[in-house]
């Protein structure tokens, strides 16, 4: 049986992989079609925020660490307390809430700390990036909640009745 934090880590990794596929389609798929990407990718924004704009690999590493370890583990702890019914809606609420907190605190603070300013809700990167960030955070939340819910259900079904009473 996995702890809630372990379920969150697994779910966060799965959700980060799903969003990374969308990011790769935006970064590389659009140019293959002869069009410019319509939004700055989150790994690109992270590399700018971390003051290494020419090293997008640093942004990708940060993207996976935050999506898996920070947000995944936090979701594992907070999921049972979130005020919606389905794991997916809990995931969307959590992920969009995390984006709002990040957009109001971390993104504007980067400029104040000497980094390249990205502005409130990353608006220095344009409105398309804001829309992209909200959409990808919602996708992250759907996958996060779905995988977490499946792991919880799997653990529930794995418990066997002992002497007529369940383990929980």
Q: pLDDT per residue over 90-116, tens digit each?
A: 999 999 999 999 888 887 777 655 556
Rounded CA gap, 45 and 98, in Å?
Answer: 16
Mean pLDDT confidence for 141-151: 98
Rounded CA gap, 51 and 21, in Å?
Answer: 24
Q: Nearest to residue 120, comparing CAs of 131, 129, 109, 128?
A: 109
Lowest-confidence segment of 11-20, 54-63, 82-91, 153-162 by average pLDDT: 153-162
What confidence tens digit (pLDDT) does each residue in 10-61 have? 999 999 999 999 998 888 877 777 777 777 788 888 888 888 888 999 999 9
Rounded CA gap, 119 and 109, in Å?
Answer: 8
**Torsion angle of C-alpha atoms 98, 104, 108, 113, degrees rounded to 10:** -70
Mean pLDDT confidence for 133-151: 96
């Amino acid at each position: 049986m996995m702890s809630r934090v372990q379920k969150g880590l697994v779910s966060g990794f799965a959700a980060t992989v799903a969003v990374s596929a969308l990011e790769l389609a935006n970064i590389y798929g659009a140019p293959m079609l002869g069009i410019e990407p319509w939004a700055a990718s989150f790994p690109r924004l992270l590399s700018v925020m971390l003051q290494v704009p020419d090293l997008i690999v640093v942004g990708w590493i940060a993207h996976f660490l935050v999506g898996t370890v920070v947000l995944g583990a936090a979701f594992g702890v907070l999921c049972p307390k979130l005020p919606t019914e389905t794991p997916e809606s809990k995931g969307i609420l959590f992920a969009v809430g995390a984006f709002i907190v990040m957009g109001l605190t971390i993104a504007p603070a980067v400029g104040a700390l000497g980094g390249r300013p990205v502005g409130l809700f990353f608006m220095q990167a344009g409105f398309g990036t804001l829309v992209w960030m909200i959409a990808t955070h919602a996708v992250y939340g759907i996958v996060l909640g779905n995988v977490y819910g499946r792991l919880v259900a799997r653990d529930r079904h794995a418990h066997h009745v002992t002497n007529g009473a369940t383990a929980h």
